[in-house]
Structure 1
Amino acid sequence: MVASTFDSNSTETPRGSALSAKAQRRRAARQTDRLALDAVYEIARSFSAAPDPIEVLPEILNVLSSFLDLRHGVLALLSEPGPDTKGRVNPYVIAATAFVRTETAPPADVLPDAVARIVFRSGVPLVAFDLAEEFGPEAVPERLRGQGQTLIAVPVRDPEQSHFVLGVLAAYRSHDDLRAGLSDLDVRVLTMVASLLEQALRFRRRIARDRERALNDTRRLLQTASEQRGGGATPVSVDGIVGDSAAIGDVIAQVKRVAVTKTPVLLRGESGTGKELFARAVHTGSPRHDGPFIRVNCAALSETLLESELFGHEKGAFTGANTLKKGRFEMADGGTLFLDEIGEISPSFQTKLLRVLQEGEFERVGGSRTMKVDVRIVAATNRDLEDAVAKGDFRADLYFRICVVPIVLPPLRDRKSDIRPLAQLFLDRFNKSNGTHVRFAPDAFEKICKCQFPGNVRELENCVNRAAALSDGEIVLGRELACEQGSCLSSELWRLQDGSSLIGGLSSGRMVAPMARQAAPTSPPATPEPPLVRRKTANTAREELIAALEEAGWVQAKAARLLGMTPRQIAYALQKHGIEIRKI
């Protein structure tokens, strides 16, 4: 009995130890899940009680650190373009961190620029199991160097347009952490936090929209009451220009003041802001309103054709000149000449143009008789002429000749209250020209009024005409708009432009939008970032997948970078094609 008891105990002890180890692992897993649930609960409470979700983000990131050891959390958000973003494309800012940082510190000090760029453009979570190995040691923030770090980054999407990524939420986990291998749980938790942030932002936007609507209604009521009493100033307006915003009111007031003079005017602004319409307003409000208004697009003609168009030519001046032709300067005598896109003329032609602007004299091409004209010049450009003068691409004396009274036309995104009346005007024009009776539903107007319209008024007109033409009935619903059907490329072009392919004419060169290209580092990264144009999915061909794995030495993370994929996509593609990983 003793021996039997001893044998029984000796065989049961290892089994008990094995069960104990399994129980401990299950208990640790349950504890981790419980901590994650508690963290999400605390974060949801913080968001629900906060008037501004961005302000409480540092507290949220500290909760992640306390409950789950996800340290050094950071939130990056796309920033609005402005003068401080000159030379940068798709700028983003660090909106919140779990630690104190100086405002002048570059964003790359807390979030690698390569990681931010991938998440912004791909819109999928990214896990860098070894940040230094996958993106180079320079990608590791200086405060975290000297120990292995796993970076988890998830996208924060626009609450109104789920396909548009407006931010990146990221956190780090040290390789010394006991949870260093639980990246799936980390991704799930950060994704839930990002979703809670999106919901909080949506609620905040709705409140702001309701407040703006109430203020606009109050403003209209006060204006109506003032007009009925006969008090208040007469609103400034110009025929053909729609809008009652403060930005457009200032421009109209400038146009009215300068129109009565002979001073040259330079209209500046992004493409699509209606520069020709304002040029006509200057002519209509001037004493020359009975004279001709002549328009020339300087960017549409070569230097030789432009000279012939502006100055005219004599019969036989060149091959094909069978008759005498008057130039635009002659045709505009006693009126106004509108030189559109004047920043595009060549340096050699600038000299010829300068003389007629200074003296009012010129000769036709092939002629010797000096012609004298009395023309008022209104020019327009979307280029940064000051930068062109500094680089020697535009003559300084010509710049000072045309830029006597510069008038800057505001982009449509700075005159939000004008979007609805403009959209209604374009819809009325569409109905009149096509014999239709299309109307916009309230939700369609709301969605249109929230758009940024990088192409300004011209893009708004195209958007309205497209929606009206493709509508199934007489009422255009919000879901029928191009942006809701994923067929509006404007925002994507505006967001995904890079420094070598700016969208020509959308801005003066200083106004760029959503996603940043940081200054180049002083030393190149150890592992160069693959071009995103090669981005693949799990449907990548088996041969291409194997070739990338062989090139990467069968390291999945490196193969993912070569194909522009995430490690998770690589793992799924390997499973789909039945490829076994070789060990070298």
Structure 2
Amino acid sequence: MIQTPANPAHRSQARTTTERFPLDTVCEAAKILTGASDPIAAMPSVLNMLSSFMGMQMGALALLNDKGGTQAPGRSVNPFVIAATTRGTACQPASSGALPVPVTRTVFRTGVAMVSRDVVAELGADALPPCAPHNRYAFIAVPIREQVHSPYVIGVLGAWRDLAESGWQTLDEDQRVMTMIAAILEQSVKFRRLVARDRERLMEEARLALRKANDKATAEPSPPAHPIEGIIGDSPAIKTVIAQIRKVAPTNTPVLLRGESGTGKELFARAVHSLSDRQDKPFVKVNCAALSPSLLESELFGHEKGSFTGAIAQKKGRFELADKGTLFLDEIGEISPEFQAKLLRILQEGEYERVGGARTLKVDVRLVTATNRDLEAAVARGDFRADLYFRICVVPIVLPPLRERLQDVPKLAQAFLDRFNAENGMDKSLTRGAMAMLSRCQFPGNVRELENCISRVAALSSGAEIDARELSCSQGTCLSAELWRMQTDERSPIGGLAAVRTPLPMIDSGRDQRPAPAPCPLSPADPLSVAPDPAMPPQDDRARLVDAMERSGWVQAKAARLLGLTPRQIGYALKKHGIEVRKF
């Protein structure tokens, strides 16, 4: 039995250490898991909250290994990995000691929660948590099912109770709280796996479409390919893109054009349309970044007369105008999360309603989208819906920047100069020295910058021949070099993908992006040892803590989420800096 100190101050401190908040724990866990784009990545916060609100230590989450595991002959094994602990989401083997292996496998096999009131006596000394200062621990493990009432267990949630602090009387309540958290996690994991299956199915459809196109191309000898109108260049990079366009254009597979600003995404979208069976049908384009969400909805779906102020007549949307043809959505990465859900329906079902209308309309549209944003990072942050990403990113085509195809610069420059001469009734030409200087430029603004450069020097040159001395590079008025110097991974003054990632990466929630944890989970780290928010001005730990408390209305749990800490760490920090908590 724990003896209560005689000193009143010590009595108050003893009550605080055993104080528990089961309802608050479940409520906060529901907020974290339902609001996270990846529930597994959010589990360290939930496990730390179990420690702060309930006093349960060294919690961990085990998930079945989707890739299977090694099995000994004649022996049944449930292969699992440790997907999350209080220290992060780094994927660890089952033998890492985060959870007792025999108990975890038993829960996987039976689907029954297990409670050990004395770990050493019932499970052995090997079942003690790492860095345990003594051997008086209880252990609780609850199953996470594939769905409600399903016998199939996909995960196990486990945690230890220090019997030296609170005794075994609270174990039943601990089990109920962990069971409720497991039920919330079940739904989140189920959605995550459905999204992954949808991704695999769409990727398989894309592979089959490309395979059929390849088989058709090899079976029938095709005539010599004619150049695509508007696309200039014969560098290996541009030839690769043209070959991809020719393969995917005859199919109805959605295409996502990736590339930096100025690489000609609209030109390649037109090429997809002109090489398809829909070439005689409409090609409709929309710049998603140029319209607000409400205007974009009216522009794409149309509206009925009187549906809003100013709607004096019925208007057909771009989807309706592009029926049987191709719809090009430029800057798809700029649409709002609310509109993403509305766009997903028409891509899945092919039907929609006009704004203010009740009649369901059906369309048959080939979708081509384009973006210069890193959509994978946006999906990871929760700014872009994963299901919409998998719908539009079936066949990604990465357009090379001009600096990777400098051998095409002379042909492009001559084509732009010919266009300028035709439009202005002139007959100007570039000297060999001017062509050589243009071929050495990096062009961070890509083809668009080259076109502007040719138009500027042609308009300002005095003679019929444009020499290298008349180019902006020679006169010190070209901003290309300065823009290129400013282009980094964090800042992009030009706009676009500074470093294009792999078009279809695997989504991996098993990576821990946080700083390295303390070596022992029983030794809490310095409460404010995390890096400060880069959006906040530099200030000391105390001022940063006060600012977070004021922004959260002096609710410690909310302030903990703002700073990436646990409520218990916030409590330590408040006491350390002598900050009195305001009560309203």
TM-score, L = length of structure 1: 0.47
Structure with more contact order per residue of length (Cα contacts < 8 Å, sep ≥ 6): 1
TM-score when normalising by structure 2: 0.47
